[in-house]
A and B are shown apart, each in its own frame.
Chain A
């Protein structure tokens, strides 16, 4: 089994406790509301757009003065924004190095990947890859 950052591990367990797919979706909707740094719609640009999502999703990574990683983002579909929030909360405040080393396998452990269509799952992978690449750029 993989070792995940503590905050992410906690979320994964939240999802594992769900009874069925509807409950996992409900939880994703909940997470969508907890996006730590929502990206206001005025700031949605072509540059921060996530490719491969059926719906619109935008994400930006910010590294603060203490070299801590933060994800700003938003999506018009709640399930996409929920996945984004899980990631944003799960890695918030880690160093770019730590974020760069993550794998997207945590969604399997959340047991939501099975409930996502290929296009959505691809959208998520693109989102994940965008964030990881950004972290890698700033990794030391």
Chain B
């Protein structure tokens, strides 16, 4: 069954927004953040209008409803990812989730002699925490290179490097290339050969994967899964780290204060068990309600169909763009698994100029290094322009985009 795009689009109020000169917005910056369906906006508004109270503390009616709703969100979101509720630690997003792995788990469990294996394809969120930690506790970071021919990870290099690795941190789907790494194989190899045969821990950065495929945390078999709500129709400011109860017990909190303790005396404190140990302070309550609404909204659709739709749009667009003189595309749009991202440059129009010229036609695309400077270096560029599609984008929008781009190249190159 094809997706009913009219009905999907009708759920997103922002898509009917007109820009300067009554131009229709064509939103193609979904890899940065997706738009939000009305149900998400309503869930958050309704929470503030009718329920707002702090959670886990007071006995009054509102506090009870807020706590119930917040914890129901944890259950609902966890179950969307096939996981029990106590595997979900709320964070501010993927970035904080990865930092929690670094400061909560790695700092407590790794040290001199341990290798953290990551890749050239990572977002800065999966590079910088390791660099800081390596200065602090002597872990060594190694990077699996990008195969510049195939635009995929060099899996031969991975197979060799994984043997020494204690922790493997890999981006599930690249925010620049749209390429999906073979995470199943990466996990398998890490478990079989990592840490010299004892098995390495694996962290997946699934920020760009969750909007594209149904991820089942227990089925994947990784140890840590980092996500952001805002890239899958949910609000900004919230995300999650999924990990198991056993691993949580080996982790130390890296943000501390209220809500995460059992008892506090002036001599010391004992901590809550499970996810709460890592959720100090008043949590993101409205955001949890919003994210819960987003996964319920997404749950109406078969993610295989969503992926096929988005990936076909990107593939079609990339193919058309190949025919525009001077345009270079980065990525692999011939692969079925590639997401909705098309990174491109023009030989003699600067990426930033391109983005402005596209914006003048109502097309929201992004330019820059996409927080992946090592990958830019591997590609031999300093930035790219990037169009990224999601569930509500249409073939007409893709056509209009290609036409406007063709016009821009005609006029400005």
Contacts and interface: CB of A to CB of B under 8 A. Distances in A.
Interface of A: 20-22, 25-26, 29, 54-55, 76-80, 114-117, 120
A80 B351 CA distance: 12
Interface in B348-368: 349-350, 352-353, 356-357, 359-361, 367-368
B360 A26 contact: no
Contact of A20 (B21, B350, B368): B21
Contact of A55 (B350, B360, B411, B412): B350
Contacts of B356: 25, 79, 115-117, 120
Contact of A26 (B349, B361, B411): B411
A116 B350 CA distance: 15
A77 B352 CA distance: 7
Contact of B353 (A21, A22, A77, A114): A77
B396 interface: no
9 contacts: A20-B360, A25-B356, A26-B412, A76-B350, A77-B352, A77-B353, A79-B352, A79-B356, A114-B20
Nearest to B349: A78
A25 B352 contact: no
Given A25-B360, A114-B20, A115-B360, A79 B353 contact: yes
Contacts of B383: 54
B360 A54 contact: no
A15 to B, nearest CB: 14
Nearest to B407: A22
Give the interface centre of B353, B360, B367, B411 by most chain A CB atoms within 10 Å. B353
A25 B361 CA distance: 12
A54 B383 CA distance: 10
Tell me if B's interface is mostly helix, strand, loop or mixed.
Answer: helix
Nearest to B367: A54
Contact of B368 (A21, A54, A114, A116): A54
B132 to A, nearest CB: 25
B352 A22 contact: no
A107 B353 CA distance: 18
Contacts of B21: 20-21
A63 B21 CA distance: 43
A118 to B, nearest CB: 13
A90 B296 CA distance: 57
Given A21-B20, A26-B411, A54-B368, A77 B357 contact: no
Given A54-B367, A76-B350, 18 more contacts: A20-B21, A22-B357, A22-B411, A25-B357, A26-B411, A54-B383, A78-B349, A78-B350, A78-B412, A79-B352, A79-B356, A80-B352, A115-B20, A115-B359, A115-B360, A117-B356, A120-B352, A120-B356
Nearest to B348: A78
Contact of A29 (B352, B367, B368, B412): B412
Contacts of B20: 21, 114-115
A77 B351 CA distance: 8
Contacts of B359: 115, 117
Interface string B61-83: 00000000000000000000000
A62 to B, nearest CB: 26
A115 B357 CA distance: 10
Nearest to A76: B350
B352 A55 contact: yes
A114 B361 CA distance: 14
Contacts of B411: 22, 26
Given A20-B21, A116-B356, A77 B350 contact: yes
Contacts of B350: 55, 76-78
The interface centre, meaning the residue of B350, B352, B412 with most chain A CB atoms within 10 A of its CB, is: B352
Contacts of A116: 356
A20 B411 CA distance: 14
Contacts of A79: 352-353, 356
- Scoring A55, A117, A120 by chain B CB atoms within 10 A of each residue's CB, the highest score goes to A55
A29 B21 CA distance: 22
A84 to B, nearest CB: 14
Given A21-B20, A25-B357, A114-B20, A54 B412 contact: no
A115 B361 CA distance: 11
Nearest to A21: B360
Contacts of A80: 352
Nearest to B357: A25
B360 A78 contact: no
A100 B295 CA distance: 56
Contacts of A20: 21, 360
Nearest to B411: A26
Contacts of B352: 54-55, 77, 79-80, 120
A47 B88 CA distance: 49
